[in-house]
Amino acid sequence: MPLSAVGQQTRQVIDTLSDYIEAQGHADYIGEAVSQLEHSLQCAYLAQKARAEDETVLGALLHAVGRFIRHSRDKPPMIDPDGNNVGIHSHEILGEQYLRGLGFSEKICQLVGAHVMAKRYLTTVNQGYYDSLGKSSKTSLKFQGGPFRVEEVKAARDDPSLEEKMAVRR
């Protein structure tokens, strides 16, 4: 593929993702005090401020892409007992697959796909992290399998990229 075609394809991917983020950006972020756009930008900013690698910063920026891309309309919402929508079921997997299809690096795709796993891990090993979650995030945690069991914590600790996965989550 000629370099100009690669540049055009890259520009198209960036434009598409920007359009998705912009279209959903000002929408409510599952009942939290920030919009989807603000949430995504805060995550990337905090990763950058923590001096994370560029791919980790991009993973932080795009971690919720599975919540608002066109394909998410086919996924079942997570509805709490009060009837509130607290997210899209398996949005992390959808986001990982979507970004992989666009040609993002395997590392970025895995970081996006692991942000719910990192949430489950962090809520197990750090009560302060759980306490810092918003109401909707605590509710969605129940749909996502809840805090890790002991054997899941052990398995997560064997993952050489656990720190980067937690960095996206933090």
Res 120: pLDDT: 96
pLDDT at 83: 65
Q: What is the mean pLDDT of residues 67-95?
A: 68
Name the pTM for this structure: 0.81
Residue 78's domain comprises: 3-169
- pLDDT tens string 45-70: 999 999 999 999 999 999 988 877 76
How far is the CA of 151 from the CAs of 113, 130, 140, 144, 156, in angstroms?
20, 19, 22, 17, 9
Most confidently predicted of 13-22, 27-36, 59-68, 104-113: 104-113
- List beta partners, residue 79: 85
> Is residue 148 pLDDT above 90, yes or no?
yes
* Average confidence (pLDDT) over 100-115: 93
Count structural domains, the chain. Answer: 1
Would you state the pLDDT for residue 35? Answer: 73
Residue of 77, 78, 85, 82 lying closest to 31 (CA atoms): 85
Q: Minimal CA–CA distance to 33: which of 130, 136, 123?
A: 136
The three-class DSSP label of residue 26 is: coil
pLDDT for 157-170, tens place per residue?
999 999 989 888 88
- Looking up residue 160, the CATH number of its domain turns out to be 1.10.3210.10
